[in-house]
Amino acid sequence: MPSLEDYKGKTPAWCPGCGNFGILKTFKDTMVELGFEPHQFAIVSGIGQAGKFPHYLKCNTFNGLHGRTLPVATGIRLANHEMPVIAVAGDGDCYGEGGNHLIHAMRRNISIKLFVHDNQIYALTKGQASPTSAEGTITKIQPSGVFSEQLNPMAMAVALDCSFAARGFAGDPEHLKTLIKAAMEHKGFSLVDILQPCVTFNKINTYEWYRQRVYHIGPEYNPEDRAEAFRKALEWGDRIPIGIIYRNNRPTLEERIPEIKDVPLVRQPFDISQIEASIREFY
Amino acid sequence: MDYSIKIGGEAGQGIQTIGDTLAMVFSKSGYHVFTHQDYDSRIRGGHNYYQIRFSEKPVMSPRTEINILVALDMESIRQHEKELSEYGQIIYDSASLKEKHEKPYFLDVPFTALATEHGGSKIMANTVATGAVLGMLGIELEILLGIIKNTFSRKGEDVISANINSAMAGHDFAIKNCVKCNLAVTGPSKEKLLLINGTDAIALGAISAGCKFYAAYPMTPSTDILNFMATRSKEYGIVVEQAEDEIAAINMAIGASFAGTRAMTSSSGGGFALMVEGLSLAGMTETPVVIGFGQRPGPATGLPTRTEQADLQFVLYSAHGEFPRVVFAPGTPEQAFYLTNKAFDLAEKYQVPAFVIFDTYLADTAWTFKEFDSKKIVYKDYRLRGDAFKGLPEYKRHSYTDNGVSPLGVPGEARHVVVTDSDEHDEEGHIAEDAETRTKMVDKRLSKKLPLIRQDITPPLLYGSKNPDFIITGWGSTYGVMKESVDRLSGSRNIAMLHFSEIYPFPSTDKFDYLEILNNAKLTICVEINATGQFARLIRAETGYEFKNAINRFDGRPFTLEGLSGEIDALIGRL
């Protein structure tokens, strides 16, 4: 059985008090509890503070480009669908730069587990608005406040029939652990949007701000009712629901591709003698 | 005998079907074939043509002069009547075109009426036309009938017999009525020949190299690679994914390669422009990836269906930062097959991105060859897998080595983790920002590998005179027309062609001192389908050799044999 010691990574370069620490610890705890060894899964990350995440534990890592976590993760997963593939991205990375990939990953329903560190601000570039910044947020770049409407990742996920959509809070690690576990165990594309206070650049959405608002979605809620899920996804403001917002059992992309039905692509042998038959077709 | 047949018509009239079928009949008969196409970026209407050249000797370029024009629209007659050779013939259906031509070289074949009468439907008109062309040439129908049976095997006996009757009706009509035809063919070569175009050859080369993952977004002229890979995906166990955009396509290919499979993507200039950051990612993470690049005239959308060689400098210098890359530009479908295989081999051997650049012209031209020899295919798995990986006491993805190549472990196959990063990184693959690591990594990734890759690059091909006074130099798809121009001029001129198909790392002169040959010539000409002479600039940058003469064409059309050899002769004549 793996232990936390096996997951020891580099020392994080995050600001003291950053919400990412809570996510990192919870994630490691969860993987140990689920019994994963570090070499048994891969994390793909992008650029931003969240992009550094895989360096701070131990695992197969592809730290790629800003916004492009999902395409790389898709390639890995299609090449080896027996390996769990996790994507870690920030709100700017995933909802801004990589928005198109998110839409299509949800449509494909490729079994990637996407954890978005959503701090509602661009931190690495020092405090510009992100797609999830509240309308009216004043920054150096937006002195008159953000004019665009705040992106609602949960409502978008429900609208796109994303097969698993949940919201967690970095300040509630026990609850977050249940979401990470549920996402890891879900068959299909899983989005977990994690509210994550940025202690340096976001003075509005603080731990306190979130604590006053978040509440656990109760057991009476049925996340498989899509219309109900959409209503739940629209809740934001004085009360913010955390938990599994929406879930369905659509078939995954990997299941549907006949070429990898039996054996993962990476383990399929290549027989060069086959090519003769294809060459002959041109005579 | 050296005949050219042009089929002209609107998009959607089926000229490609007639052209493909005739090309197949000629090649199956044992003739050498060369086909090329010209079409507008539209689904219906406009004016397109498909041209087939065939001979008992190898042919590899388009002719200006044509022997038979199959005119399915009036525009074909307006544009191409003047291209007709001395004994050439135009066949057309006066009822469909609603105009009658009385000149002696017009043959009015009632395609539609014969189709309705013998095939039961006017949609067989193209089969009538195909049969009529063979009738004019005095070629028996046996091979065509075989192709018809094969093509329509799933559609049932009725469709097959309707097409056969239509082909026979066209054939008989031409034999009886083409009294002025003087187009009899000479016997074909006895060789069995294969007929293949550039994109199919690239795709076949990729499959033969063990490509298992192909992601792309459709864009002319690269789409046919995507088509071919998809049609063979079940047979060869290839995952083919249509990406949401080119950025996703290259990143998916990089992901699949990181996971341990050979991967490829393709696009044209505009789509590749979107891939450029991903190219840099492959460079930094040392992830092997093969990129097919089909050039077409730009800038921006340019001429979407026409041809150009104007993206050489783009491919060479695209992407931020410095890292090695391999660039091949095959001159023929045969070279496309072998060089795509070599691109996969070098990409994985040195863990670098490798390009196969072509253009619309090479994509769409079909040539005949004696064979594609699978014994010449190189397949070596350079990745660290299974027990070899498990047995290592420690593993660092980007470890410093003597030759700069670090072991490429397949994630999940051993207890070692495989870590890589788009940031500068240490040997393990973790983010590193210190000056010493940076210097050592650039040395490993770039300075050590580049000279090694150069040793694997084949020098350019010298064809024609061994001590030429006149040299035409070019790269990529102009191979055929340059070679035939040399053949045509070598009776009166001491001339040779110097053709480059392995472009980067730029070939050294160790194995073949092509610079000496260039320096000894009286006149050297760089032939390119672009406005600025991109290859001439490259050879000057890499070797210092400066071409004093250039033939450039940039109207979106390929050189013809008569056109290019005439221009070369004129330049030599001015000496």
Q: Which residues of chain A have a CB within 8 Å of the CB of B215?
A: 75
Q: Is B208 on the interface with A (CB under 8 A)?
A: yes
Instruction: Please count the residue pairs, one from chain A and one from chain B, whose beta carbons lie less than 8 angstroms apart.
Output: 187
How much is the average pLDDT of B217-235? 97
Average pLDDT over residues B464-477: 98
Give yes or no for residue B178 having a pLDDT over 90: no
Residue pair B55/B3 in contact (Cβ under 8 Å)? The answer is yes
The B residues from 22 to 41 touching A (CB cutoff 8 Å) are 28
Going by C-alpha positions, the residue among B258, B193, B266 that lies closest to residue B228 is B266
Q: Give per-residue pLDDT as tens, A32-82.
A: 999 999 999 999 999 999 999 999 999 999 999 999 999 999 999 999 999
Task: Give the residue from chain A lying closest to B376, CA to CA.
Answer: A272
Q: Evaluate if residue B521 carries a pLDDT over 90.
A: yes
Parallel, antiparallel or unpaired: strands B45-55 and B32-38: antiparallel
Determine the 3-state secondary structure of B243 from DSSP: coil
Q: What is the CATH number of domain B2-177?
A: 3.40.920.10
- H helices of B209-301, where? 223-231, 233-236, 246-258, 269-285
pLDDT digits (tens, 9 = 90+) for B89-109: 999 999 999 999 999 999 999
**pLDDT at residue B190 in the model:** 84
Interchain contact, A279 vs B244, CB within 8 Å: no
d(CA A283, nearest CA chain B) in Å: 4
Q: Which residue has the tokens 């080896």?
A: A80
Whether B552 has a pLDDT exceeding 90, the answer reads yes
Question: In this model, does residue B189 exceed pLDDT 90?
Answer: no
Do the chains contact at B420 and A268, CB–CB below 8 Å? Answer: no
> Residue B516 CB: number of other CB atoms within 10 A?
10
Contact: A75, B263; criterion CB under 8 Å? yes
Residue A102 near residue A94 (C-beta atoms within 8 A): yes
Beta strands A112-118; A240-247: pairing state: unpaired
- Per-residue pLDDT tens over the stretch B295-340: 999 999 999 999 999 999 999 999 999 999 999 999 999 999 999 9
Q: Which of B264, B207, B262 is nearest to A274 (CA)?
A: B207
Cβ B555 vs Cβ B531: under 8 Å: no
Q: Does B263 touch chain A (CB under 8 A)?
A: yes
Render A87-130 in DSSP notation, one character per residue: EEEEHIIIIIITHHHHHHHHHHT--EEEEEEE-SSBTTTTSB--
Spell out which residues of chain A touch residue B200, defining contact as CB-CB under 8 Å.
282
ipTM of the complex: 0.98
Residues of B in contact with A274 (CB under 8 A): 235-236
Q: Are B356 and B290 in contact (CB under 8 A)?
A: yes
The letter for the amino acid at A108 is R
pLDDT of residue A220: 97
pLDDT in tens, B406-422: 999 999 999 999 999 99
Look up tokens 């388009």; give the residue: B62
- The matching CATH number, chosen from 3.40.50.920, 3.90.550.10, 3.40.190.10, 2.130.10.10, for B461-573 is 3.40.50.920
Amino acid at B309: Q
- Two tokens, residue A268: 């399929």
How far, rounded to the nearest angstrom, does the alpha carbon of residue B439 sit from its chain's CA centroid?
40
Rg (CA), chain B: 26
CB of B436 closer than 8 Å to CB of B442: no
Query: In a 3-state reduction of DSSP, which class is residue A220?
Result: coil
- Phi and psi torsions of B540, nearest 5°: -70, -45
Which H or E element spans position B23? helix B15-29
Between positions 49 and 78 of A, the ones with CB within 8 A of B are 52, 54-55, 58-65, 68, 70-78
CA atoms within 13 A on the CB side of B152: 19
pLDDT, tens only, A220-231: 999 999 999 999
- Looking at residue B101, its pLDDT comes to 96
> How would CATH label the architecture of B196-376?
3-Layer(aba) Sandwich (3.40)
Q: Say yes or no for a CB contact (<8 Å) between A83 and B412.
A: yes
Q: Which residue ranges form the domains of chain A, and what is each CATH number?
A: 4-280 (3.40.50.970)
Asked if A60 and B419 come within 8 Å (Cβ–Cβ), the reply is: yes
Q: What per-residue confidence (pLDDT) applies to B536?
A: 98
Residues of chain B with CATH 3.40.50.920: 461-573
Q: How confident is the model at residue B181 (pLDDT cuts 50, 70, 90)?
A: confident
C-alpha distance from A88 to closest chain B C-alpha (Å): 14
> Are residues B259 and A76, on separate chains, in Cβ contact within 8 Å?
yes
Global pTM?
Answer: 0.97
pLDDT, tens digit only, all 283 positions of chain A: 899 999 999 999 999 999 999 999 999 999 999 999 999 999 999 999 999 999 999 999 999 999 999 999 999 999 999 999 999 999 999 999 999 999 999 999 999 999 999 999 998 899 999 999 999 999 999 999 999 999 999 999 999 999 999 999 999 999 999 999 999 999 999 999 999 999 999 999 999 999 999 999 999 999 999 999 999 999 999 999 999 999 999 999 999 999 999 999 999 999 888 899 999 999 9
In B320-445, beta strands by DSSP E: 326-328, 353-359, 366-369, 419-421
Quick check: A278 and B207 CB within 8 A?
Answer: yes
Binned at pLDDT 50, 70 and 90, residue B179 comes out as: confident
Domain with CATH 3.40.920.10 in chain B: 2-177
Please provide the DSSP assignment of B143-159 as one string.
Answer: HHHHHHHHHTTTT-HHH
Most B CBs within 10 A among A45, A53, A63, A111, hence the mutation to make, goes to: A63
